[in-house]
A and B are shown apart, each in its own frame.
Chain A
Amino acid sequence: MEYIQAIIDLIAQYEQQNTLNLIYLVILMIFVGVELISHVPSVLHTPLMSGANAIHGVVLIGAIIVMGNASPDDTLSLVFGTLAVFVGTLNVIGGFVVTDRMLEMFKKKPKGEKES
């Protein structure tokens, strides 16, 4: 009973925070993700992994928000936050550039066909 009450409380809490909408969003996005990847030729698996890797760099937004909330005299938060922004940016930029380099290789295909 106690646990059920806890779960009900949690859902109520989420509802208050408007988080329930987010849960719908999560479920829909899971389906979108599955749909997007299911019919992809194996040649593209690696670039896709790399591209998805860059997209989860969106955690950078969180790092920026955290920095925005940190008070200027909270040194530890500022240091950690700056580090979080830095590594988040590495994830985003590095991810997109590596993916682009991989896909650049594939782009030669139409050119090669024309030349030969």
Chain B
Amino acid sequence: MMPYMEIGYLVGSVSFVVGLKMMGQPDSARKGNLVAAFGMAIAVIAALFFTSKGFHVISNLQYIVAAIVAGTVIGTLMAKRVQMTAMPEMVSLFNGMGGLSAALISIIEWRHLLHTVDNPEAMGQAAALPMGMYIPIMAGLIIGTISFVGSIVAWGKLNGSIGDFRFPSQQIINAVVLVAILGVAYINYGEFNASHSSLYFFVTIGLAVVYGLLFVFPIGGADMPVVISLLNSFTGVAAACGGFLYQNKVMLMGGVLVGSAGTILTVVMCKAMNRSLMNVLIGMAGGNGGGSSTSASGGSVREVQATDVAIMMKYASKVIIVPGYGLAVAQAQHVCHELENLLEAEGVDVKYAIHPVAGRMPGHMNVLLAESNVDYDKLIEMEHINPEFATTDVVLVVGANDVVNPAAKTDPTSPIYGMPILDVDQAKQIIVLKRSMKAGYAGIENELFFHPKCGMLFGDAKASLQKLVNEVKAL
């Protein structure tokens, strides 16, 4: 008899590690994803058709297969249809589904456990709740619920359907709720035999829901990718709890792998923004100061017309485009590429300067611009493009703000002080496409806009770029 189930789980576990490793390099990333998906398929087949004793079709197969088919169809449709710009919220939604799954498993296992303990003869020994099962069940429940609720809130925030929501001493309240969750879960353990034990169980769920809401509500929409990454690792831990519960190594390895990789990824993302994780979680950016320090800098903003900008660019020899979140929101990547083609046809050297945290997630701009077929070689990373600004005629800033804010270099009191920026002020002319003078997500004013070399072209990024395209064509 071959241990097919163990082999299936082993293949699954190894492929997760190999897949994740391959996903860390641009050349092998796509294959890595497929490797992990393949491993998942093998593990699922092992769970469906084998036990440690050999071939054995699982009970209730009809419901399971129906749910898997439905999940596959709907999941594929959702993932295929989503706009590239809406990727982060989709990831968040799927992450929430994983959390929900973990929480549901715990609820069923809890009922199962109560049932078993209620019949001492079934247990064979005294009616004590086995701690070794209780901990993973409750941990899976609590973490899964927080991850589910938090992800849904994050999804709503990225959608724009949920706004930021802050109230005083929020951090203290969050801490109290967290302690309360653990306390109630502990009481629940002690009281399991009493008739009202289920009440504590439900209170635990309720508090976990509250914590999930409070955890994500105060964090600015712009920081959501960091939060999603963190919730992602939460769900990993919730899955690992299931691994403990069932002594299932593939769940354990997959879950812990994501838990630790997700945590590191979160820290790395924060570092790229030069902020600490605490700072993101407390929801500092945008909340405090509101530009009180620099708004007095005064000066006047020079507004420019699309015609002038078109002329300027057409007769330039080198143009650098700095894309930012505004480009993503306006879905302007295709028009942007069109403009680039037109200028190239006129013999202008066009490049893109990609700040590591431009947009709302690392790599956001690369993905967007690649979608509209912009040549990969034209996307230049910050360290390589910065020396080039000095020889550039026109810099076109499309909906980016904080990543070109000189305050990061000059103003030690600025919240973004120390963040590496693109040195656009070295260029001969700076044109900023922006909807209004509103501050970026760091909530601070940008001196660059008052710079004598800087002209502002107000309007939606897509509309403005379209105007530029028309003007360049008309010239």
| B-side contacts of A64, CB under 8 Å | 44, 47-48, 58, 64
Q: Is the interface of A mostly helix, strand, loop or mixed?
A: helix
Stretch at the interface among B78-86, B213-221, B390-398, B461-469: B78-86
Instruction: Flag whether B24 is at the interface (Cβ < 8 A).
Output: yes
| B-side contacts of A56, CB under 8 Å | 95, 98, 232, 235-236, 238-239, 254-255, 258-259
Instruction: Flag whether B377 is at the interface (Cβ < 8 A).
Output: yes
Given contacts A53-B232, A64-B47, A116-B377, contact A106 B366 (CB under 8 A): yes
Given contacts A42-B363, A58-B255, contact A96 B37 (CB under 8 A): yes
| A-side contacts of B274, CB under 8 Å | none
A65 and B246 form a contact (CB under 8 A): yes
Q: 1/0 per residue A33-47: CB within 8 Å of B? A: 110111111111111
Q: How large is the interface on B (under 10, 10 to 19, 20 to 34, 35 or more residues)?
A: 35 or more
A32 to B236, CA, bound (A): 14
Most B CB contacts (10 A, CB to CB) among A41, A93, A112 go to: A93
Residues in A90-113 with C-beta less than 8 Å from chain B: 90-109, 112-113
Contact check: which of A53, A59, A102, A113 meets B376 at CB < 8 Å?
Answer: A113
A84 and B105 form a contact (CB under 8 A): yes
CB distance from A116 to the nearest CB of B (A): 6
| A-side contacts of B70, CB under 8 Å | 86, 89
B362 and A42 form a contact (CB under 8 A): yes
Most B CB contacts (10 A, CB to CB) among A6, A33, A58, A92 go to: A58
| A-side contacts of B25, CB under 8 Å | 44
B375 and A33 form a contact (CB under 8 A): no
A61 to B255, CA, bound (A): 11
CB distance from B100 to the nearest CB of A (A): 5
Residues in B308-340 with C-beta less than 8 Å from chain A: none
A22 and B363 form a contact (CB under 8 A): no
| B-side contacts of A6, CB under 8 Å | 131
Q: How large is the interface on A (under 10, 10 to 19, 20 to 34, 35 or more residues)?
A: 35 or more
A88 to B238, CA, bound (A): 12
Instruction: Flag whether B342 is at the interface (Cβ < 8 A).
Output: no
B76 and A93 form a contact (CB under 8 A): yes
B370 and A53 form a contact (CB under 8 A): no
A-B pairs with beta carbons under 8 A, tally: 377
Q: Is the interface of B mostly helix, strand, loop or mixed?
A: helix
Most A CB contacts (10 A, CB to CB) among B94, B265, B356 go to: B94
CB distance from A78 to the nearest CB of B (A): 6
Contact check: which of A17, A44, A105 meets B371 at CB < 8 Å?
Answer: A105
A33 and B259 form a contact (CB under 8 A): yes
A53 and B95 form a contact (CB under 8 A): yes
Given contacts A58-B250, A94-B94, contact A34 B132 (CB under 8 A): no
B132 and A55 form a contact (CB under 8 A): no
CB distance from B469 to the nearest CB of A (A): 22
B111 and A90 form a contact (CB under 8 A): no
CB distance from B296 to the nearest CB of A (A): 35
CB distance from A41 to the nearest CB of B (A): 7
Contact check: which of A50, A67, A106 meets B370 at CB < 8 Å?
Answer: A106
A58 and B254 form a contact (CB under 8 A): yes
B58 and A58 form a contact (CB under 8 A): no
A residues neighboring B (CB under 8 Å): 6, 9-10, 13-14, 17-19, 22, 25-26, 29-34, 36-70, 72, 76-78, 80-109, 112-113, 116
